[in-house]
Amino acid sequence: MAVFKIPSDLRIVEKTSYKILNYLKDLSLDEYTLFRIVLSAEEALINAITYGNKSNRRLPVQIKVIKKQDQVEITIKDQGSGFNYKNLPDPTDDENLPLPCGRGLFIIKKLMDNVSFSDNGSCIKMIKYFKKGGDFRQIREKKLNDITVLEIEGEIDLNSSPAMRKKFDELIKSSASKIVINFQNVNYIDSSGLATIIEMLQRLKRVHGELRMSNLPQKIKNLFEITKIDKLFQMFLTEQEALKDF
């Protein structure tokens, strides 16, 4: 466990991020997972300094980081009186878009897996879960006329991406040009997995092929939306809808 105490000064946020990164170094996490953790910590620190302690340098912010093989837990505590964390407005609603506040907590809740508050909202606990070594099980392929459907089960990460590329190499060599990826049984995807999916799309476009995605679990869909990758792909609720789109 690592414990830090910093004054309420926004100039110290970046330095504190480096300390957290250094503490997590031995977990060998992928860049995207680290990005989610550190960005969430920074947003929580900014809120604690700006809204909790009102930028009063004499009031400290306490940070506690606990690392395990399958999760990272970060707790940040300010000295303020708290806030109504049970009734937060959605910053993406049209009427709230011009407002300058509220987006930090929205980002944290999107990037972390478990977010909770205590001490009337002056203390936030954020947990990010992850698995080591991957849990990739198989790729099932089926043909529906001239369309190839890939049903992926497990995780798409640094360990499983080579198998994805190998399967795609086989499809390109067999002149497959219409492909649907069914994500229904995918429970995790990291930056390596995202890069592999983008690579598949680019290679298909070079041979005038098309790629569709279907059945994305909400947490996977959120990841695509947060990274803006959803703009690159055509995504459908069901496999049947994706097939009909060709």
Question: How large a percentage of the chain has pLDDT more than 90?
Answer: 50
Residue 136: pLDDT band by 50, 70, 90 thresholds?
low
Domain boundaries, the chain: 2-129, 138-244
Lowest-confidence region among 69-73, 113-117, 129-133, 224-228 = 129-133
- Residue 190 burial (C-beta neighbours within 10 Å; 0-12, 13-18, 19+): buried
Q: What does CATH list as the number for 2-129?
A: 3.30.565.10
On the question of a common fold for 2-129 and 138-244, the answer reads no
Residue range 138-244 in CATH 3.30.750.24: yes
Q: What is the mean pLDDT of residues 60-83?
A: 94
Amino acid of residue 141: E
Helices and strands, number each (H, E), in the chain:
7, 10
Distance, CA of 57 to CA of 65 (rounded, Å): 22
Q: What's the pTM value of the predicted model, to 2 decimals?
A: 0.55
Instruction: Tell me: pLDDT of 16 over 60.
Output: yes
Q: Which of 8, 64, 22 is nearest to 41 (CA)?
A: 64
Q: Hey, what amino acid is at 8? A: S
Is the per-residue pLDDT at 191 higher than 80? no
pLDDT at 139 over 90: no
Q: Chain-wide mean pLDDT for the chain?
A: 87
According to the model, what pLDDT value does residue 97 have?
Answer: 46
Q: Are 234 and 245 in contact (CB under 8 A)?
A: yes
Q: Is the pLDDT of residue 144 over 60?
A: yes
User: Token pair of 114, please?
Assistant: 């478990």
